[in-house]
Amino acid sequence: MAKQDYFPTKGDAQDTWFETWLANIAAVLTALGLSATHADEVKAKITICRAAFTDWKNAKAQALSKSNTFKSALKACLLLLRPYNQNLKTTAGYTPETGNTIGIEGPESSFDPTTAKPEGEAIYEGGQVTIEFTKPEEVKMVLIKCKRGGETAFTDLANDTNSPYNDHRANLDPAKPENREYTLQYVDKRGDLIGQVSDTIKITVP
């Protein structure tokens, strides 16, 4: 039975495949009695493709870096901004109308610590899993648990005070895609778990 043509499916593997093809095609053509110019058009297209892949990787890495910079800056900002706004509300003479002028008066709270349940989603981008989650003002942080690969039980991954959380871990087996599952649960200001565990968030990391 004839074998199928082989070409990898992932970008890095494709680039390595192209490199091998370019390095060895001249010898193959000689062995087959073909002119070295026989593959010039293909070689030119491969060179263009590899250059575009390198540009894409660089742009993706730069975008991820800027995204992480923004997310870190946002977290640092909110760590100061929220307590500052809360302090303003305790100042003599403060009124809801005053707060409305700078947008710090939210709706009436209907938070129930016994039934509160986080919502979240996971996105794979730039070599990491980004987990976006809800976090009301009434809670201190969110406990994130995870299990992956062949693991059978969830283990604590992180406590995070502001969304999103970035999971930078490499796959347990770098040669295979990895199925990951995450759960979220609120933590109150005393450090106790409250409310309900979120629905399981599932994602496959290539």
pLDDT tens column, 94-141: 999 999 999 999 888 889 999 999 999 999 988 899 999 999 989 999
- pLDDT value at position 8? 86
Please check whether residues 42 and 102 belong to one and the same domain: yes
100 and 34 in a common domain: yes
Pair 98, 113 in one domain: no
Q: What is the pLDDT of residue 135?
A: 94
Residues 24 and 124 in one domain: no
Q: What is the mean pLDDT of residues 150-165?
A: 94
The DSSP H or E segment spanning 176 is: none
Domain end residue (candidates: 106, 132, 147): 106
Q: What is the CA radius of gyration of the chain?
A: 26
Model confidence band, residue 68 (pLDDT cutoffs 50, 70, 90): confident
pLDDT of residue 1: 63
Average pLDDT of the residues in 163-181: 93
Q: Which of residues 106, 133, 151 is at a domain's end?
A: 106
Indicate whether 12 pLDDT > 90.
no
Pair (36, 101) in one structural domain = yes
Closest CA to 180 of 130, 142, 133: 130
Q: Which of 57, 78, 106 is the last residue of a domain?
A: 106
Work out the percent of the chain whose per-residue pLDDT is above 90.
74
- In this structure, the answer to whether residues 132 and 144 fall within a common structural domain is yes
Domain that holds residue 118: 109-205
Residues 131, 100, single domain; the answer is no
Residues 10 and 101 in one domain: yes
> Is the per-residue pLDDT at 86 higher than 70?
yes
Question: Does 126 share its domain with 60?
Answer: no
pLDDT > 90? residue 174: no
Residue 18 has pLDDT above 90, yes or no: yes
Tokens, residue 112: 């129930």
Phi, psi of 173 (to 5 degrees): -115, 100
How far is Cα 47 from Cα 154, in angstroms, rounded to an integer?
A: 46
Which pLDDT belongs to residue 2?
64
